[in-house]
Amino acid sequence: MITIPKKVEYSIIFIGYLAKKDVNTVSLAEVSKKLKLPYRFLGQLAMALKSAGIVESKEGKTGGYFLVEGWGQKTLYDLLEALGENKHMVKCLGNDEECAREAQCEIRKIWNKIENSFVKELKLIKLSEI
């Protein structure tokens, strides 16, 4: 079965926490403590989410992280891309590798169909739905 990496799971939890907060910014220390997430790992995720235009940070005494305007329109697929998790389900679907059995492979078509359906669904689910 397909498993969801911790960085995706924790990012969704982090985004959900920020979405529910009434204050402007939230420190990583607060998020780490309240949600029992590893602080250093959360910092790495926050940087990836910032690069993806999902969160922004503010320095200083009242600093922390907050969701950027329009964050909710991003999709789960956008999140996977930001975290580097938009990998193919099986190696043979990758563009950079050739498979010696490709011409006679029947299962490749099925994997491709499943992956295309999965990606399509991920692109339909908005982060605001979490």
Domain at 91, CATH number: 1.10.10.10
The pLDDT of 101-127, averaged and rounded, is 86
Is the residue at 75 inside a domain? yes
Write the pLDDT tens digit of every residue in 34-68.
Answer: 999 999 999 999 999 999 999 999 988 888 999 99
Is the residue at 74 inside a domain? yes
Structural domain of 100: 6-129
Total number of domains in the chain? 1
Is the residue at 92 inside a domain? yes
Is the residue at 1 inside a domain? no
Output the pTM of the full model: 0.84
What is the structure's pLDDT at 88? Answer: 77
Write the pLDDT tens digit of every residue in 65-95.
Answer: 999 999 999 999 999 999 988 787 777 776 5
Q: Is residue 33 over pLDDT 80?
A: yes
* C-alpha–C-alpha distance, residues 44 and 39, integer Å: 9
Among residues 1, 12, 112, the alpha carbon closest in space to that of 55 is found at 12
Q: Report the Cα–Cα distance between both ends of the chain, in Å, rounded.
A: 22
Is the residue at 61 inside a domain? yes
